[in-house]
Structures are given as C-alpha cells and as structure tokens.
Structure 1
Amino acid sequence: MIITVTGVGVALPGADSATALAAARAPQGAVEPAAVLGKKGLRYKDRATQLGLCAALRVLTDAGLLQDGELTVDGTRTAVLVSSNLGNVDTVCRVVKTIADEGTHGVSPMDTPNASSNIVASEIAIRWGLKGPNLMLCNGPASGLDAVRWGTALLRSGRADHVVVVGVEPDNEIARGLAGHPLADGAAALVLESEETAAARGATVRAVVGAHTRGADVAATVAELAEAEPEPAAWYAPADATGALPKGQPVHDLTAVWGELSGALGVVQCAAAIGALDAGADGPMWLVAGTDSDDAVATLVLRPPVPARAQPAAV
C-alpha cells in the first residue's frame, strides 16, 4: 500500500502554511488560537490543546476533509495521532499542586478532564467528530516521526481510511522549567491516506511516505534507511545529528529557526519538507529526529508526488 500526505497544517509563530515554514523565516509574534478557531470553546483549554486544534483545523481544511465546518468523509474511519512530550504538563502540575495544598476538594471541575495525558488528541477528535483510533505519543525527539509511522500502520492494517497526525509543543513557565529552555510554542499537522483513498475522493497528493527506521544512533539508523531508499536531495535534521550524515546534500535544522520542537519536531520537519516540494525542490527528502545523545533516533523519507498519467486525447 502506498501512503500519501494529502494535507498540511501549520500553526507556528509567523508561519501559517507549509510554504511559510519551508522559507525558514524568523519566528514573529505568537499564534492566537481565537483568531484561527474563534473564541467559542477555548476557555479552560491549555496552550498545547489550543495550538493542536489550530493545526488540526488547518490540515483538515487543506486536505478537503472539512468544508464549511462539516466533515466530507466518514468520521468513524478517521484517526487522530498526536505527538507531544510536554503537552498539558502545565495543567497536570497545577492540579497536583492544588491537591497538595488544598486536597482534592480544591481542584476545579474544569481542570480535571484537562489533566488527561491524551487531552490534545481527544479534544481534536471531539471537536470534529473524528471517531477512529485516538492516540497520544510521548517518545522524546523521535516522537513526531513515530506518530507518522503509527499513522501508516493504522492505514495498512485497515483500522482507518484517513489519519490526522499532529505534533505540538507549548511554551509556558512550567514547560520551560522542565525543558530547561524556551520551546517553539506551535504545532504542525498532516493528513495521511492511501493512494487509492486519495484518488477516490480527488485529493491532491502532496508527498509520498517512504521508508522509516528507528535505532540507537544516527549513523546506523541512516545506513539502514539507505538500504531501502535512493540518495536524498536534502536532509532535515537537528544540528547535533549532522556530523553523522553523509556529505553532499543541504541540511535544514528547523530548531535553529523555531527553537526547541521536542515531540513536534518530526511532524514539523514533514510539513517543511512538503512546503519545499510544493515550491519545486527536488526530492526525496530524508528526515532525522533525534541524536546520538537521545534515547532513540527515528528517520523517514518523503518523496515527491508521482505525476498523474496523461490521459489519451478524446477522439
């Protein structure tokens, strides 16, 4: 089964599209969820959930799965996968502190559901009626590309026809305290579908998902990928991984522009690579999330879409 990307959504400071993300401009301002989603339904939602909802709305619209606020596909066959290492940690820490200081009676009923580790994925599903498999991944820097891999697995196993993959990280006092530095405060999202499903609904294929590998160090994981894929036209990788990459192709380090992306890294890399392909860049694009100092390294290849076969002229 050939897996394709049919939509991209971006909600990063100064970048609201794959094209803007690929241009690697310096972050400007902050994402304003109310300007994207409207104010209704945002109260009491943590920053990660709000950012995830922004990216999800944009990707559903971009892929044509949402028109005029209504789903155009079967929601029961649409899955949601979210990658975030810090996610709603601010809500969790606030609830824990309240219980420690005041006991359980001091916890607001508005905070309780938001303390669920799956809150970002579940809120996206609830808002748009996406009733397929629903999963949150927190796998360190490799998490974003892991989410894409799990999305392809859901499609190949027949568990879903459409998969919304979101990578998001918030920047707030508690998240900064745990990470030790500021975070990107943004999100990116993809829609994955099989080639057949995309063709049946007339969707535009933005990229084809290639091989994925996962290992303990960059060099070995990339070498394994090279056994299955042709030479890359460009790399998307963090700076600390570039020393282990073969020389000759340009390397794009998105963290140098957007800051620490953590669990959102792999999905943001995918969105930027697709923005570059949209702008006419050569492929394939090889993505590397994680370094030798991390617990794991994940890699993924995105290929340019295959041009549709020319139809014979009518006689």
Structure 2
Amino acid sequence: MTIAVTGVAVALPGTSDPRDLLRPAPQGAEPVDPAARIGKKGLRFKDRATRLGLHLAHAALTDAGLLDAGGTTVPGDRIATVVSSNLGNADTVCRAVETIAKESTEALSPMDTPNASSNIIASETAIRYGLRGPNLTVCNGRSSGLDAVRWAAVLLRAGRADHVLVTGVEPDNEVTRRLVGGPVADGGAALVLSRAATAPARVLLGPVVRTARPDDTVTELARRTPDGRLWLGPGEHPVPPGARRLDLGGWGELSGALGVVQCAAAAGWFAEGGTPVAYALAGATGAVLLAPERTR
C-alpha cells in the first residue's frame, strides 16, 4: 500500500514553508504566534506546546484538504492523531510539583492541571478539530518523531484510519532549556499521512527502519533504496560517501519534533526539484522518503 504525505505544515521562528528548512535558520526571528493563525478562542490556559500543536494541526489538515470552515471534510472517525513531544508539558509538570512541594495540592489551579497529562497535545487537537480516530503520543527521545511516523503507517496499513495527523512539537522555555542544556526549537512540523488522497501527494513514505544502532539503520536504509543522496540527520550520524547531509540543528533542539521536521524538509527538497529519494535519520530510526512521482 502506498502511503502519501498529503499535508505538510511548519511552524518555527521565521518560517512556515518547508522549503525554508533547506536553508540556514534565521537569527533573531519572532516566535510563532498561534493566535494569529487560528484565533485566540480556545487557547487560554493552554500551554505553549499545545498552542503550537493546534496551530500546526490546523495548517496541515487544511493543506491536505481535510479541514475547511465547516470542519473536517471527511468523517472524523477516520482521522487518527499521533503526536511526538519529549518536552511538551515539562514546564507544567515542574510548576505543579513545585506548587505541591511549597504549599499543597489545594493550591493547584484547576485550569492548569489538565495540561499535566502526557497526552494533552493529542487530546486537545482531537477535541478542537473533531478527530475521532486512534489518538496517542510518542515520547521516547531522539527517535520519537520518526517513530510517530512509523506508528502512523501502522495505523493506516491496519485499516484503523484513512488519514493520520502526525505532529512533532517542542516549546522553548526555562524548563526545557535546563533539561537539554540550550535553546529549544520552539515549534515543529505536522504531516498528514493518507491512504486515500484528498490532495496531491507531497511525499511518498518508503520503508521505516528501526535497528539497535544508527550505523545499522544507515546501512539498512541504503540497502532498501540505494539511490538517495540527501540525508536528513544530525551530524554525529555517519552517512555514505558522496551523500549530502542536511542537519537541522540550527533551529535549536528539535528533540521529539526532529523526525517530523525532517519529513517536512524532504517535502521542501522535492518541491525544489531535489533528487527523488531522501533519507531521514533520528536516533536509531530511519525512513526512506520518495518524491511524489516516484513509485515503489
């Protein structure tokens, strides 16, 4: 079964276009303002990661032709939601723990405590946009974003959904900076993976590979589809001789958003006429990404 990426959205400081990911990150750009895209209604009391996730979901679903002013254009129970975020609500959790330690549980805000749920981004996205298919969050380190893509493909191949919204997002704040030791990307990307196209394909998803070591993943990706020249992955990962590497680290620590942003960058690469095969590598998980005109 061919799985197509029919919707792509990017929300990072200074850009909303996947093609911009191919160039150096702009310095000093203003943070993304979700309210400017989706309005202020419903954003009050939501944490930064959830607001960014709602922004990305709206843009990706619209790009895929699944959302208009009247709501979803296909039955909501056929749209699943998978979110990847390692740091998403860490600030809320730390704030709650500090409040309990200094005062008591009675001092917790009833408007803030729902944000402590590990699935808050995915659940709020589903509620706001009427997505009633399977709903889950992946949170397992550097490979999390590509693992979310892998699970989306599993849901599609199993017939659990016709479309899966995959969102990778991380917020930049004092807590997340302490956890990673530096600036966080403050944004991310979203994809719509479809088995029944509602819009032209932006990317075709090839094999998704998970091994014990990144070196083995590189070898396996090259074996499965040997004619790719673009490798989307951090600098510490080896790539074959002669290949071009695109390291997205200039946008800040992407963490759980990394793999999803890599897939969005591949869409930008193909849109600019780049070679028809690209690889994404995050942790020990890798994916083959194919230009829309390419068949497997």
- Give the TM-score of the pair, scaled to structure 1: 0.90
Shift of 1:307: 7.0
Q: Is the 8 A contact 1:78 1:130 kept in 2?
A: yes
Give the number of equivalent residue pairs: 294
Which residue number in structure 1 is paired with residue 211 of structure 2?
A: 215
Show CA shifts across 1:126-179 (max 9, x none).
Answer: 100001000001110000000000000000001111000000010001111111
Which residue number in structure 2 is paired with residue 54 of structure 1?
A: 55
Show CA shifts across 1:53-108 (max 9, x none).
Answer: 11111101111101125210110110000001111111111111111222111111
Question: Superposed, which structure 2 residues align to 1:155-304 within 5 Å?
Answer: 155-194=156-195, 197-198=196-197, 201=198, 203-241=199-237, 244-255=238-249, 257-290=250-283, 297-304=284-291
Partner SS for 1:168: strand
When structure 1 is superposed on structure 2, of 212-221 and 44-53 the one drifting more is 212-221
1:305 to 284, 288, 292: 292
Rg (Cα) greater in structure:
1
Find the aligned partners of 2:19 and 2:131 in 1 and give their Cα distance: 27
Find the aligned partners of 2:240 and 2:71 in 1 and give their Cα distance: 46
Partner SS for 2:10: strand
Show CA shifts across 1:106-138 (max 9, x none).
Answer: 111001211100000111101000010000011
When structure 1 is superposed on structure 2, of 95-104 and 107-116 the one drifting more is 95-104
RMSD: 1.3
Show CA shifts across 1:238-281 (max 9, x none).
Answer: 0111xx211112110011x2011001000000001111101111
Which residue number in structure 2 is paired with residue 293 of structure 1?
A: none
Q: Is the 8 A contact 1:212 1:298 kept in 2?
A: yes
Which residue number in structure 1 is paired with residue 3 of structure 2?
A: 3
Structure 1 unaligned spans of 5+: 291-296, 309-315
User: Structure 1 stretches (4+) deviating beyond 6 angstroms?
Assistant: none
- Give the TM-score of the pair, scaled to structure 2: 0.96
Shift of 1:233: 2.4
Find the aligned partners of 1:13 and 1:262 in 2 and give their Cα distance: 16
Which residue number in structure 2 is paired with residue 312 of structure 1?
A: none
Structure 2 unaligned spans of 5+: none
Partner SS for 2:236: helix
Find the aligned partners of 1:21 and 1:50 in 2 and give their Cα distance: 21
Find the aligned partners of 1:21 and 1:248 in 2 and give their Cα distance: 21
Shift of 1:25: 3.8
Find the aligned partners of 2:135 and 2:145 in 1 and give their Cα distance: 15
Q: Is the 8 A contact 1:146 1:298 kept in 2?
A: yes
Q: Is the 8 A contact 1:234 1:283 kept in 2?
A: no
AA aligned opposite 1:19 = R
Q: Is the 8 A contact 2:203 2:266 kept in 1?
A: no
Identity of aligned residues (%): 57
Partner SS for 2:45: coil
